[in-house]
Amino acid sequence: MGILNSQVNEVDLIPIAKGIISRWWIVLIAAVLGTALMFTQESDLAVTPAQTSIDRVYESRDETALLALVGVDPSTISPFPSFENQIIQLQEPEMRDKIAATSGVDTSVSVSRSEQRFSLIDTVEGDGKTKFTFLSVGTPTYSFSCTDSNGESCNKAIDEYVNQLAVLRKASVISGIDRLQTLLESLNLNTTSNQDKIEALKAAKLLVTGELALLTTSTTQSGGTVSTVKSSTYGFGFIGGAILGLLIALQLTLIDKRIRSLSQLSKKYSPEALFGPLSDAPESIEHAASAVVARARSHSFNGVCFIPASTFSQASTCAQTVNSVTSNLGIEIVSHPEINELSASQIVAIEQGIVILAEIGTTDLRDVEHTNSVLESSGKTVVGILLVQSS
């Protein structure tokens, strides 16, 4: 059987580990791709919310309150239409179409007005009587609410609703002042007090703007969103990608038949028939030479022929290097081309013992088996296999 031994069904971890290490770039690329995948997936959720809700609260200004300084009761000025009915006007289809055309967005906005609150004050008077007085408390506010897939559309729509409400408020207050002014002028009272009131009403109309003051604004995003991409997500993508890359590298290693260590050859060939690995180091050359001499002498050969199992351009150089040591010990070494380039006459003419050369990371295990099979079938003696490191 020569140097061929029975097949051993076991897994050799050393060549597998070396094969995976030689493919480290696969693991790295897979890890980077896994991290990038997590980034793209969560970034899409983070910047693309399903819906955005915007709520703003505005305070209305009482622009007739200062008329009390000249004796005009602000409550006698009745806006037309009333502030409550202005909200109804804003929700009319015609007004909505007008706002959509002006703002450039067709988004629905809900508008509401807070009710004015009142406080009851009781005053004890003489004879056990009590006087009750109602006073208004607080200033009415307007709330604007909008929900849309695009927050910018909501902002534009609310801005235009506020502008249109300010126009309605201004027109209604001026209308109320005009009616009160017309009433005072129709009384034909030439008193100084009445004239002062009329002049104050004229001046007040110039100051009315219908302006609303922004109090608060809030934005709420809803739907499949995340606020930030967590570092744990990146870690999951990196580790998951690395594991996938490791499995790919393992699979490629398992199907790769290239020789990476003597342990791979020891499954099929006796350990004493395996030499090397041979490198350029002097001690490595000395060890390989001593092993070749020992094997040649055990088979009573005075010479050894190196035959590479696959294309190996440095086979002759390798033979010369080892021969520089073995020739002093009585063993001459020559080299031949690989087995597929040898003719039948050349194989038959070989009288030396044969050492098969296998290059680490290049020579396929099947090439070694093929070379050994051909030589043994030809009646030649294979004294060993020399594993050579690529220089």
Q: 247: which 2 tokens?
A: 């499995």
Is 375 or 126 the better-scoring residue by pLDDT?
A: 375
* pLDDT score of 127: 66
pLDDT in tens, 127-139: 667 776 655 556 7
- Of the candidates 375, 350, 59, 48, the one whose C-alpha atom is nearest the C-alpha of residue 223 is 48
% of the chain residues with pLDDT over 90? 31
pLDDT in tens, 288-303: 999 999 999 999 999 9
pTM (whole model) above 0.95: no
Q: Which amino acid is at 268?
A: K
Q: Which amino acid is at 33?
A: L
* pLDDT score of 186: 87
> Among the CATH numbers 2.60.120.10, 3.60.15.10, 3.40.640.10, 3.40.50.300, which is that of 258-388?
3.40.50.300
Lowest mean pLDDT among 95-99, 344-348, 386-390: 386-390
Give CA 179 to chain center in angstroms: 66
* pLDDT score of 6: 39
pLDDT band at residue 164 using 50, 70 and 90 as cut-offs: very high
pLDDT in tens, 79-125: 888 888 999 998 899 999 999 999 899 888 999 998 666 566 666 66
Residue 315 CA: distances (Å) to CA of 141, 170, 219, 303, 311 = 95, 102, 77, 16, 9
For residue 28, pLDDT over 70 is answered with: yes
Secondary structure, 3-state, 168-213 = HHHHHHHHHHHHHHHHHHHCCCCCHHHHHHHHHHHHHHHHCCCCEE
Residue 338 contacts residue 369 (beta carbons within 8 Å): no
For residue 360, pLDDT over 80 is answered with: yes
For residue 223, pLDDT over 70 is answered with: no
Q: Is 10 exposed, middle or buried (0-12, 13-18, 19+ CB in 10 A)?
A: exposed
The alpha-helical segments, DSSP class H, found in the chain are 13-22, 24-47, 83-90, 93-103, 151-186, 192-207, 231-255, 262-266, 282-298, 315-326, 344-349, 365-377
Residue 387 contacts residue 8 (beta carbons within 8 Å): no
pLDDT in tens, 270-282: 888 888 788 889 8
Q: Spell out the domain ranges in the chain.
A: 13-47+226-256, 49-222, 258-388
Is 34 or 110 the better-scoring residue by pLDDT?
A: 110
- In sequence order, the β-bridge partners of residue 219 are 54
R_g (Cα) of the chain, nearest Å: 50
Residue 38 contacts residue 120 (beta carbons within 8 Å): no
Is 249 or 323 the better-scoring residue by pLDDT?
A: 323
* pLDDT score of 166: 94
Alpha carbons 138 and 211: distance in angstroms, whole number: 17
Residue 318 contacts residue 280 (beta carbons within 8 Å): no
Residue 141 CA: distances (Å) to CA of 134, 169, 212, 215 = 20, 13, 9, 9
The DSSP code sequence of 215-240 is EEEEEEEESS--SS--HHHHHHHHHH
Residue 169 CA: distances (Å) to CA of 178, 181, 193, 270 = 14, 18, 28, 103
